[in-house]
Amino acid sequence: MKNIIMTTALALTLGTAAFAEGKTHYVAIHVNQNDPQVMNMALNNAMNVDSYYSAQGDEVVIEMVAYGPGLNMLIPGKSPVADRISTMSLELDNLRFAACGNTHRKMSEKAGKDIALMDEAEIVPSGVVRLIELQEDGYAYVRP
């Protein structure tokens, strides 16, 4: 009887410890359109996912990948969501913005100068390849 009580107590303790630790979720959000509605929806998705998992006691890592016309999301002066990106980056330390290096290079060549990106953006070699890598690493894929 004593062993049963000890085993039950141990199981409850381990179960509570595992629950208290929560789970970490990984989400990749794809933006490839120069459309303010799509960009805002992608940012809304990130906020909603973060809020949901925080309320569950879980953590979430979110990476937004912009390429093609969607790269305008991360260009100062062109981005219709620049203020939201700056604010969200301060509020959510689990949110990263990846800018496609291929698109950036082509835009810069066309402009005849280096196109500046927002400070929040990190250039990756290829947006498409980055999405593939994230999915291979277990990230859920979201396209708003």
Range of the domain at 32: 23-142
Question: Can you state the angle between helices 36-55 and 82-91, rounded to 10 degrees?
Answer: 10
Q: Is residue 18 part of a domain?
A: no
Q: Quick one: pLDDT at residue 38?
A: 98
Give the CATH number for residue 127.
3.40.1260.10
**Whether 74 contacts 117, CB under 8 Å:** yes
**Residue 124, strand partner residues:** 100
Give the number of domains in the chain: 1
Per-residue tens of pLDDT for the chain, all 144 residues: 544 444 444 444 444 444 457 999 999 999 999 999 999 999 999 999 999 999 999 999 999 999 999 999 999 999 999 999 999 999 999 999 999 999 999 999 999 999 999 999 999 999 999 999 999 999 999 999
Q: For strand 95-100 and strand 59-66, is the pairing parallel, antiparallel, or unpaired? A: parallel
